[in-house]
Chains A and B, each alone.
Chain A
Amino acid sequence: MRNPKPQTTNTKETPKTKLQTASWSRGALWGFGDWNFFGVCCLVFSVWRCEAADLTPAQTQFFENKIRPVLAEHCYQCHSTRAEKVRGGLLLDTREGVLKGGETGPAVVPSDPEKSLLIKAVRYTDPDLQMPPKDKKLSAHQIADLETWVKLGAPDPRIASAAQKAWKDSSKDHWAWQPLTRPVVPETKDAAWPKTPVDNFILAKLEEKNLKPNPPADQRTLIRRTTFDLLGLPPTTAEVDAFLNDESPDAFAKVVDRLLASPRYGERWGRHWLDVARYSDTKGQIRRQREDPNYPYAWTYRDYVIKSFNDDKPYNIFIIEQLAADKLPATKRNPTNLTALGFLTVGDRFMGMPNDIINDRIDVVTKGFLGLTVSCARCHDHKFDPIPTKDYYSLHGIFASTTEPAVETVVQKIENTPDYLDYYKQRNQLEDKKEQLEKEFRDLRRTRDREKLREVQRAIRQNAGAVARLEMTHAGAPMRAMRVQDSTRPHDSPVFIRGEAQNRGPVVPRRFLEILSPPNRPALTNGSGRLELAHALVNPANPLTPRVMINRLWQHHFGEGFVTTPDDLGTMSEPPSHPELLDYLASRFVAEGWRLKQIHRLILLSSVYQQSSANNPRYAQVDPNNRLLWRANIQRLEFEALRDSLLAIGGSLDERMYGRPVNLERNPDSTRRTIYGTVDRSDVLDVLLNFDFANPDMPSGKRYKTFVPQQALFLMNSPVVVEQAKRVVSLKAFEDCVNDTARIQFLYERIYQRPARADELHLGLEFVAQTPITEMSMPAADAALPRSGDRPRRPGAQQMPRFQKNRPAATQKRAPLTGWQEYAHALLQANEASFVN
């Protein structure tokens, strides 16, 4: 049951409660009775705020002596935030709880005992409402005291529930929104270990706990670790040798600089950002009767990201472009800048529901750049962080004032090549047809001829599909940007009470978040306000933007960030492991021009990055999760790095950059880097799902790490893997090896970037020698199993390695492997090929 509308006479704003708004009082109506578990969180705000200071000492004394003891002794067991199960949704341990009441309404109407359910209950006059229950009626004077208390207006010094207090405090005290500082680099006892200031911060913490960092990793481990880290690929044998033979003191720095300058860097680190940007080449939820599911030009955003990382574009510019490239003067000169706006537009389309699309954009902007879960404030004030619903709708206004042109903007210079002219003709034909069909549809709607309507709808859908196909495949189709633009009439949004669009509260100006703004924050009035929003995000006074990015960077280098929840630095996140170092790096990041490569360099040249990953059982007791970094973490390769490295080892990696995505399911023989594979959010490839690919429906700054058997099956059985094993032993360098020992050494160098040890050599020699000369013979039990074949095999498909379901080819028998092929395949399956230590 809904509670009656509260009286709002006490909602006078005081400086202390200036966050409070009328919308909250409406929000407080939302079915609290159901929020047993979250009750504490939801009771955060209430309208009947009456500060303790308002009470006279006598009132306080009366409450403390007469009322609180009765409530505590007879009521709290079932009606407090500490109750094991809150009965009737009623909480009596806060003033708010008493006044708001439970499922049957307010427990107390101040000054009116006759209307107060609490009084009625304790009087035992109503057989259906008797409290405390089970004939534990209060004494007559206890009842009289309660009546007096209500008559007095129920003075109550308990101003806030615990959660409310926490919320209020958090708005002031939570570390993440404190100004950025530049902490002093700490002194350490061991002066020799630190190579950079980063090390001082790390070592100081270790020394506090009497821990010592590991010794440095050997050079082979180090170059392998760094190359995978920066490029997502293994180093070549030549690169390893060059490093080993370079005796200059800056040998490693040279490696780092070489890697940072490699175009492969953007393909690796750009993918990390695409996880945050919930990148997909498809629209997700759409009206399939009318729309085509593809984004033919999402890839232009992906390419923008790769290029930005390779160019070391300052992060503040990167942010501004992704939010408001259309409003920058530079874009006039260089329209490809518009592709940056894909950050906003590559999200799900939610059946065209505008408020869901806006929510997605608020979500990606605030989680991505600020590490704040602002989208939680869509229906109610954020339960943990100081983000009122009004702030959400301030951002809502910005994105509600942002539109997309009907046709994506061409961002390349058009030349009248025959390809282009052909494309142009076809596209125009399709556009004409679209117009004609839509007119037909409009006319038919009046007649309500359902059959005919469906038919036209189908034609519209087919036409949309034809447009998408043309854009995705035609050689003459020019590059386009999934841009946005300001609407012609930018406007503020009202608060949607409980998130319901039809339930409108007060209109709120377009503004940045209160918690990150100076007092009297200005309204954003330049068009939609996107550009101003972007400037607020990168304002040096906003500490979250650099902290969030530095945390992401650290996480990818070390396997875990300072804060373990990269998209949420709010009060629910665990405190950072090294807050001073986080601030040190973040402040340098800002001061030195927001350039990532400098920070990479600083981190990689530190001792902490270069230490070995060896375990230490004693330390593992003290710090089991290695939060203090006494060792390097062993890291599992993500799917992209795993597949790309298999291709590199097999010598088949196609290094072409950029361009339209490749559907890895339909083109399993493609050897493009995995970042160029199509991401379909409505049907993510199983192989990606199995390997913990980032969810393309939400910002995912951190991937899960699972070890399901399907991962093993991929490495054991997939032609994608086995064919690379076959390739590596058909390389000329392998064939040139003089003997079996040399062959094994070659494979170890190629796959693990190190020589085989004696025991490993022995294992390999034995294995190859014992390989039976087999014919392809499946066990009888297997032969009885049904073969695939419910789909016709595509001509020429049988030799193609395939990734995914529905692939007859993968289950076709293939020529048995030779001993060397099997051996190379075993090396690719072993842990060492999937982990970096």
Chain B
Amino acid sequence: MNAYDKHKQEPTARLADYFLTRRQFLNRAGMGFGALGLAALFGEGVFLNDAPAAQAAADSMLPRTPHFPAKAKHVVHIFAQGAPSHVDTWDPKPSLTKYDGKAISGADGVAMASPFKFSKHGQCGIEVSEVFPKLGEMVDDLCVVRSCYTDIPAHEVATVFMNTGSSRLARPSLGSWVLYGLGSENQNLPGYISLRPGGPPPGGSANWQSAFLPGTYQGVSINTKVTAVDQLIENIRNPYIPLKEQRRQLDLVHQLNELHAQNLQKDADLEARLQSYEMAFKMQTEATDAFNIAKEPAAVRDAYGRTSQGNQLLIARRLIERGVRFVQVWAGGWDHHQDIEDRLPERAKEIDQPLAAFIADLKQRNLFDETLVIWGGEFGRKPVKDRNGNDNPGRDHNAKAFTTLLAGGGVKGGTVYGATDEFGAAAIVDKVHIHDLHATMLALLGFDHKKLTYRYNGRDFRLTDVAGSVVKGIMA
């Protein structure tokens, strides 16, 4: 029992004569706050699952049951930001080799053969580029969706679009929706954590924002460039006073807040801030442990590769294990306008072994079937040479085709879904728009994307706006 739990059992007796106890107070505050988010949830009758309703209303982060039973309970989204070239990774195009250097119809410019060899892997015999040797070995677990497409081939817009389903307006991110729908299985850690190896990605916090959903559903972004655990989350420990004493101090803060709020009556912001303090307090013990990959056996660390991405994925696994609902792992750098032959393999190498190790690790721990793993970028690249590439060519942006990998809970492994045209210029068979991808992810988690809604400014909003169809061919 840690200091905090112990303390919880000791009511602040003398103060209680005058004021609400902390527990009473928190319950009340939690109720008030939960009611804000969940009023829409239940009041609109869009999220009906009788039993946990009353309980969930008491705390908006408690776990909830989705619309229908589903295998996937967690999501790990590895965001290959920068837009990986699909024709050099997961979507082989022999015609590009055939017409290398020649003008091809349907694209401005001359075809550029992939500098990389593809070969068949696994039982399923899916062709994988040589840049992904380890992932190739796992291909029987992967669903390779080759027919993805998006709206606007500009990084920031498309990145935010991939995460929120909206390119212009501030909308909640996928992770926020998932957290809103499912709650979290760990009340001492944020339910939605975004790991980035350095500065913010294009779009910054718009990528993990909760927008009009209550602030508690926002992703917590953590810079993993730092390796020491107690520096990973800044200010994670108090250098002056022990936890027990800090608990006493925090109780005072809550009581002061309660008196302050009495004068102003209920205010959502004030209550959101109060909840963030409780979460912060609990994180001090829980997060330092969850993020401490030094506790992993050397063999596991070696398997993941002891690299930036390896560490991120290892943290992701530790978080999933602890019940965190949604982890996003930023693994970008794929914007290869030039030098694709040298630079793309570098990026691929960064993620190849860690991701293969991650999937193997999940399987070993029986987490694979309940975790939805996604790898992909915000759009794809053109089959022709980028004109700015000159001698060391690369490929320009292409919104009409890209590949996304799905694996884990509820996903049909060892499958290719959809296809692009002869050159990979555009998805043509079984096209999957971002909204369709979102609808499918929600379906894999047990939600009807049309019914997971939130009322805001008089309108019921949903992740897929007015679009999206579930892609059944991806689902096992």
Does chain B have a CB within 8 A of A546? no
Q: Which of A617, A683, A717, A766 has the most CB of B within 10 A?
A: A717
Closest chain-B Cβ to A506's Cβ sits at a distance in Å of 18
Evaluate contact between A35 and B276: CB separation under 8 angstroms: no
CB within 8 Å: A-B pair count: 261
Evaluate contact between B228 and A786: CB separation under 8 angstroms: yes
Evaluate contact between A687 and B221: CB separation under 8 angstroms: no
A-B contact pairs, 18 of them (CB 8 A): A2-B105, A689-B221, A704-B205, A708-B276, A711-B273, A712-B273, A712-B277, A713-B233, A716-B235, A716-B250, A716-B277, A717-B284, A759-B259, A767-B252, A774-B241, A778-B242, A779-B2, A837-B264
Does chain A have a CB within 8 A of B28? no
Partner of B257, one of A625, A807, A831: A831
Other than the given A710-B280, A779-B244, A810-B231, 8 more pairs (CB < 8 A) read A373-B168, A689-B221, A712-B273, A716-B250, A717-B239, A762-B18, A782-B243, A811-B237
Evaluate contact between A713 and B280: CB separation under 8 angstroms: yes
Does chain A have a CB within 8 A of B182? no
Alpha-carbon separation in the docked complex, A90 to B340 (Å):
36
Partner of B280, one of A36, A38, A502, A716: A716
Partner of B275, one of A707, A710, A835: A707
Residue of B nearest to A723 (CB): B240
Does chain A have a CB within 8 A of B47? no
Evaluate contact between A817 and B243: CB separation under 8 angstroms: no
Partner of A826, one of B227, B236, B252, B292: B252
The 3 A-B pairs at the shortest CB distance, nearest first, are namely: A615-B265, A712-B280, A709-B280
Evaluate contact between B106 and A2: CB separation under 8 angstroms: yes
Alpha-carbon separation in the docked complex, A807 to B223 (Å):
14
Contacts A708-B276, A772-B245, A826-B256 given; does A617 touch B215 at CB 8 Å? no
Contacts A705-B269, A708-B276 given; does A830 touch B233 at CB 8 Å? no
Partner of B204, one of A572, A695, A835, A837: A695
Chain A, 743-771, CB within 8 A of any chain B CB: 757, 759-760, 762-763, 766-767, 770-771
Closest chain-B Cβ to A425's Cβ sits at a distance in Å of 36
Q: Which residues of A contact B261 (CB under 8 A)?
A: 831
Among A49-57, A121-129, A787-795, the stretch in contact with B: A787-795
Contacts A687-B234, A777-B242 given; does A826 touch B280 at CB 8 Å? no
Does chain A have a CB within 8 A of B125? no
Alpha-carbon separation in the docked complex, A822 to B247 (Å):
12
Q: Which residues of A contact B225 (CB under 8 A)?
A: 805
Does chain A have a CB within 8 A of B53? no
Alpha-carbon separation in the docked complex, A649 to B57 (Å):
39
Q: Which residues of A contact B426 (CB under 8 A)?
A: 1, 31, 33-34
Contacts A614-B265, A615-B264, A779-B2 given; does A710 touch B235 at CB 8 Å? yes
Contacts A35-B151, A709-B283 given; does A613 touch B264 at CB 8 Å? yes
Partner of B256, one of A636, A814, A827: A827
B positions within 8 Å CB-CB of A: 2-3, 14-15, 18-19, 105-106, 108, 149, 151, 156, 168-170, 190, 198-200, 202, 204-205, 209-210, 215-216, 218, 220-221, 223, 225-246, 248-250, 252-253, 255-257, 259-261, 263-267, 269-270, 272-277, 279-281, 283-285, 288-289, 292, 294, 387, 399-400, 421, 426-428, 433, 435, 457, 465-467, 469
Evaluate contact between A788 and B269: CB separation under 8 angstroms: no
Closest chain-B Cβ to A80's Cβ sits at a distance in Å of 14
Evaluate contact between B18 and A636: CB separation under 8 angstroms: no
Alpha-carbon separation in the docked complex, A572 to B169 (Å):
9
Partner of B274, one of A503, A811, A831: A831
Q: Which of A714, A760, A806 has the most CB of B within 10 A?
A: A806
Evaluate contact between B239 and A814: CB separation under 8 angstroms: yes
Closest chain-A Cβ to B307's Cβ sits at a distance in Å of 16
Evaluate contact between A829 and B235: CB separation under 8 angstroms: no
Partner of B281, one of A716, A722, A790, A826: A716
Evaluate contact between A503 and B245: CB separation under 8 angstroms: no
Partner of B242, one of A2, A706, A713, A774: A774
Contacts A37-B151, A830-B256 given; does A817 touch B241 at CB 8 Å? yes
Q: Which residues of A contact B276 (CB under 8 A)?
A: 707-709, 711-712
Alpha-carbon separation in the docked complex, A786 to B289 (Å):
10
Alpha-carbon separation in the docked complex, A549 to B218 (Å):
31
Alpha-carbon separation in the docked complex, A708 to B252 (Å):
21
Alpha-carbon separation in the docked complex, A805 to B14 (Å):
40
Residue of B nearest to A503 (CB): B108
Closest chain-B Cβ to A486's Cβ sits at a distance in Å of 27
Chain A, 428-476, CB within 8 A of any chain B CB: none
Partner of B231, one of A34, A781, A806, A829: A806
Evaluate contact between B234 and A617: CB separation under 8 angstroms: no
Q: Which residues of B contact A716 (CB under 8 A)?
A: 235, 238, 246, 250, 277, 280-281
Does chain B have a CB within 8 A of A308? no
Chain A, 786-827, CB within 8 A of any chain B CB: 786-791, 803-808, 810-817, 822-823, 825-827
Q: Which residues of A contact B264 (CB under 8 A)?
A: 613-615, 634, 837
Residue of A nearest to B216 (CB): A707
